[in-house]
Chains A and B, each alone.
Chain A
Amino acid sequence: MAVRVRETAFDPGVELNALHAANVGVGAVVGFVGYVRDFNDGQDVAGMFLEHYPGMTEKALEKIALEARERWPLLNVDILHRVGRLEPGEPIVFVGTASAHRQAAFDACNFIMDYLKTRAPFWKKEDTAEGPRWVEGRCSDKAAAERWE
């Protein structure tokens, strides 16, 4: 199980292959990649800054990964989240899950993203033509996380 928070870029393909290489013989690996969009709420987005709460961020992600392992028979979980300055099109988050069968890997990956969106201390600040703006939390994210309770 690995939880990483860093400023530098990553290659989702490399992460996915590494997760498989660490669990050769595994039946299923599911990977989710979140990218920085070049639009949001009807406005063009030229880039963004990801703020986080150092110390708490790592603990929150580890707790989410552990909860996923308690709920599903997973062989491995990998969460990688970028912070700092990001450009449109860049990968911002990678969540990888490995299990003997695909359903557990799919469900756990979905669960991790829903919990990450509502429980991990990250905040997006987008650059738009009208200046920088903080992205507000969505009710749909909260509702998505609540369905696992």
Chain B
Amino acid sequence: MIRVQYFARYREALGIEGEQLNWDSALANLDGLRQHLLARGGVWEVLAEQNLMCARNQELCSLEEALADGDEVAFFPTVTGG
């Protein structure tokens, strides 16, 4: 199982805070997961943004980061704190 979370503008565009997906080794890495979500079409196009940021198990990472069963993944727009 992979737990996926969406924040800020993405959460609003997608209409959900997060979801659980069945683990599939074909996903390989975060970009594989993103492509899987993009294939849903429509609002999911928001995940095609160039500035998209992502985290695996609450650590910032690149889209090339490998995925493992049980991971917590998050996709979000550029951060703007402070």
Contacts and interface: CB of A to CB of B under 8 A. Distances in A.
B44 interface: no
A137 B77 contact: yes
B82 A81 contact: yes
Interface of A: 34, 50-53, 55-56, 59-60, 81, 92-93, 113, 116-125, 134-138
Contacts of B9: 123, 134
B30 interface: no
B78 interface: yes
Nearest to A59: B58
B51 interface: yes
Nearest to B57: A56
Given A53-B7, A125-B8, A137-B51, A117 B76 contact: no
Nearest to B55: A56
B74 interface: yes
Interface of B: 5, 7-9, 51, 55, 58-60, 74, 76-82
A55 B60 CA distance: 13
A53 B58 contact: yes
A144 to B, nearest CB: 11
Contacts of A125: 8
Contacts of A50: 81
A120 B78 CA distance: 10
Contacts of B5: 53
A81 to B, nearest CB: 7
Given A53-B74, A137-B79, A121 B7 contact: yes
Contacts of A120: 79, 81-82
Given A56-B74, A60-B60, A117 B81 contact: yes
Nearest to A116: B82
